[in-house]
Every structure is written in C-alpha cells, then in structure tokens.
Structure 1
C-alpha cells in the first residue's frame, strides 16, 4: 500500500512538473533580432586606398566593391545572421585583410566568419554582453561595440587591419559596419 501511494505521488509530481514546463511562456519567446542581415554601409575612421586606384576614401564598400562584394553575395546571401538554435548567436561575415600581399588586387581581401554569443536583456531586443566563441581560426577583426539603431538595423564597431596602397602601409583602424535585416520569405 505504501509503494502504491508513493508511486501515485511520484506520478502526480511528474505530471505537474511536465505541465509547468509546457506552460512556461518564456521558452516560446523569440527575439525579433533573430534573422539574416545584409551589409548596407561599411566605413573606416580614416581614408584609405584599398583597391590601388590612387584615391583614398573612408567608404570600404566602395573601395572593395570590385574586389570583394560583387561576387561574394551570390555564394552566401547574407552578411550577418542571428540565430537562437543554441543560445543566441551572431554569425558575422566581415570582409577584411587576410594576407599581406604586395601585389594589388591579388587575394588580399576575403571573409572572416567569427561567431559571437549574445546575452540579451529581458526585452529580448537589447544586448547586455557579447563574446567571441573561440575557434581554431584567428580573426583579423575585434568587435568592440554593437548598437541596435532600429529593430532591423545593427551597427558594429570593430578594429581591423587594412592595407593602404597610396601610403604603402598596413593600418589597424576602427571600422563601422551597418546591417539591415532581410525580409523573411514565406
């Protein structure tokens, strides 16, 4: 008789805990930040000549357009992705200097693919902290600041190395990359 009551009590506790875990609305909440983003603006704090045309500019998108951006968006259709598959993670594709090659336009620029874990506040829209998830690959950029200008616009401030061909030197500079969320196809 004692075993029967214990088993019934155990069954009731299991049912209650299952119901409580199913009714927890927090587990079903998704951050509106989750999605894929495109790079719409990419600026440096100083003017550089990145494409060896003899003209300096602070617009990295314009400087690297023919070397980088025209072909790469066909391979990966987004430049930044925030997912909640396992915690909240940001997968970033940021172009930058990958090799120090003295010959202009020759395999100098490419992608780095750092992944960051984002710690969101209770509103699921603001980030309280972010950290790089270590991997075997070292990334040439260091993310310093993340700002959400609007729900669909993210701005990242990083420190990166670029080669200025006019000055014939490599520089570690602050860059600002602005991303816009892509519309989800249904």
Structure 2
C-alpha cells in the first residue's frame, strides 16, 4: 500500500511494511550475496590450499630429483676422475715401456739376421748328432762282437773255475764233517 506522506494512508510513499519487507528482502539478498561471496572465498581458499599443497608436493619432487641429479653428477664426476687416474697410470706405464720398445725395435732386425745362421748351426749340430749316433751304433756292434768273443773264450774258463771252487768246497765240507766225528 502506498502513502503520500509519512503517517498518511493514501499517498505516494510506500508503507512501512513494504519498506520493511524491502529492507528484509535487501538484507536477505545481501546475506545471500555475502554467503555466496563467503562460499566463493572459501572455495578460493580451498583451491589456494590445494594449489599450495600441490606446489609443496612438486617442490618436494623437484628437490628429490635435484638430489638424484646431484648424486648422478657426483657418480659421473667420480667415474670420470677414476678414468682420468687410470689414463694417467697407463700413460706413465707407456712412458716406462717406450725405451724398452725402442730397444726391442733395434734388436728385432739383429735377431732376424741371426735366424739363418742359427738354422745352419742347428743343421750342423743335427748332422753331428746323426754322425755320433752312427758311430755309437758302430761301437755298440763292435762291442757286441768283443763280448761274443769274450764269452766264447773265457766262458769255459769261468765254468771250470766255478766247478773247481765247488769241488774244493765240497771237499772241505767232507773234511770238516770227518773232523767233527774225530772230536766226538
């Protein structure tokens, strides 16, 4: 209902009830807006917290990956250092061997030149060995001939000596048996 003046019932001004309703409606709308804003704020806060948690998680993952990378770098550096040490060691060994190699390089041609001479000497020695083997076989055959002649000449003499020795032993044995009978 509209009132023209305050306190007048038939005017152009809205009534107190209408104003109160409007005020209540405005307050309700404002409260609803405030609640929506509060809900949006809470939602944004939750998103921020979620984003912060995700950010912390990503930071932790990043730090972990950085740690792994540092470890891998340290391992690679250690491996490289080990290889450098090995290279230095091998280079030192090469430096030590170079004089020996030079010495061998000069000695190899001399040794190659000596090979034919040594082969000739070996052949000469082999010929000498074969000659000595032939001489030995000849001496062995000659000795076998002497041995056969010795056996033929002296075997009967040895047999005769052995028989005489056995006879004298037998005679000595009979004599001692006879003496034993005389004593008793």
If the TM-score is normalised by the length of the shorter chain, which range does it land in? under 0.3
Greater fraction of residues in helix: 2
Larger Rg: 2
Greater fraction of residues in strand: 1
TM-score, normalising length: structure 1: 0.23
Q: Which has the higher contact order (CA 8 A, sep 6+)?
A: 1
